[in-house]
């Protein structure tokens, strides 16, 4: 057992899906996995292990924001030997050509989080996706005919912001969408020499103000999950 995860050694698979919402983790486990066991209920941050097409896969809620995901990713890698971590989440669209319901594969993550400033003594670190996971997810998304984008995203500490000058500047630099966790995931994956990828569906839009209905979110979520699971088992 680690500080925030009640699993025993061996309870968690080498490959894990990471939704922010623990109830999403439960839904994913119940909908897509067979022979499911729940290994964590600490703080309601549910974690499950099961099989997908015969391969062992886990799914763990991470909560929102870099401090929360960093706790779970640290413990998953250091205490449970997890090697492949795939975040499945939502983001706000930041380009005209990126539409709600599209899928974004996060190649890299900008941030306003100060976490890496502390770690790297004021210098910048460029957190990037695992090329192998990115390539595999991209190929699977193309096969499925998804409206998919690959590129830079923004991991922000603020969901609500008064001053939009930063997001406007990042839009000029081609950043595709905003979420709140990937910078920490990619930095920790680099630190420990493991593989990480973030796959996002666009749930709302900073430029157009578009939002998705819960039914639309469900359809896009299904497409993203199929790409994530197929990537996880290859």
Which phi and psi (to 5°) does residue 24 adopt?
-65, -40
- Give the total of residues touching ligand ADE (CB under 6 A): 10
Q: Between 7 and 178, name the residue whose CB sits nearer to ligand ADE.
A: 178
149 closest CA partner among 170, 128, 175, 127: 175
Is position 199 an interface residue for ligand ADE (rule: CB under 6 A)? no
**Distance of closest approach, residue 2 Cβ to ligand ADE, in angstroms:** 27
Encoded one letter per residue, x for contact with ligand ADE by CB under 6 A and - for no contact, window 169-198 reads: ---------xxx------------------
Determine, following the binding rule CB under 6 A, whether residue 203 of this chain makes contact with ligand ADE. Answer: yes
Residue among 21, 112, 157, 204 flagged as catalytic: 204
Separation of alpha carbons 157 and 45, rounded Å? 20
132: helix, strand or coil: helix
H helix runs in the chain, sequence order: 22-32, 66-80, 115-119, 131-143, 165-172, 182-192, 214-232
Alpha carbon distances (Å) from 72 to 68, 87, 157: 7, 12, 17
- Active-site residue, 204 included: yes
Q: Is 151 left (phi over 0), alpha (psi -120 to 50) or beta?
A: left
Considering only residues 45 through 104, tell me which ones interact with ligand ADE, judged by CB under 6 A. 90-92
- Considering only 14, 112, 157, 204, the residue that binds ligand ADE (CB under 6 A) is 204
Residue closer to ligand ADE (CB basis): 120 or 159: 159
- Does residue 224 touch ligand ADE according to CB under 6 A? no
Question: Which active-site residues does the annotation give?
Answer: 204
Residues that bind ligand ADE (CB under 6 A): 90-92, 156, 159, 178-180, 203-204
């Amino acid at each position: 057992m680690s500080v925030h995860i009640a699993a025993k050694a061996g309870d968690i698979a080498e490959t894990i899906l990471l939704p922010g919402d623990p109830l999403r983790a439960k839904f994913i486990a119940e909908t897509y996995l067979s022979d499911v066991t729940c290994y964590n209920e600490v703080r309601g941050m549910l974690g499950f292990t099961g099989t997908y097409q015969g391969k062992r896969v886990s799914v763990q809620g991470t909560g929102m924001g870099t401090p929360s995901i960093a706790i779970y990713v640290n413990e998953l890698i250091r205490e449970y030997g997890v090697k492949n971590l795939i975040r499945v989440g939502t983001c706000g669209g930041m380009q005209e050509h990126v539409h709600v319901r599209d899928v974004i594969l996060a190649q890299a993550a900008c941030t306003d989080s100060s976490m890496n400033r502390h770690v790297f003594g004021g210098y910048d670190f460029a957190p990037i996706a695992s090329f192998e996971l990115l390539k595999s997810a991209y190929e699977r998304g193309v096969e499925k005919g998804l409206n998919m984008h690959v590129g830079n995203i923004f991991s922000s500490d603020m969901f609500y912001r008064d001053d939009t000058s930063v997001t406007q500047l990042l839009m000029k630099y081609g950043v595709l969408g905003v979420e709140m966790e990937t910078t920490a995931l990619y930095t920790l994956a680099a630190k420990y020499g493991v593989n990480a990828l973030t796959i996002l569906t666009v749930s709302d839009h900073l430029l157009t103000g578009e939002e998705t209905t819960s039914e639309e979110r469900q359809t896009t979520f299904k497409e993203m999950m199929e790409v994530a699971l197929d990537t996880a088992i290859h």
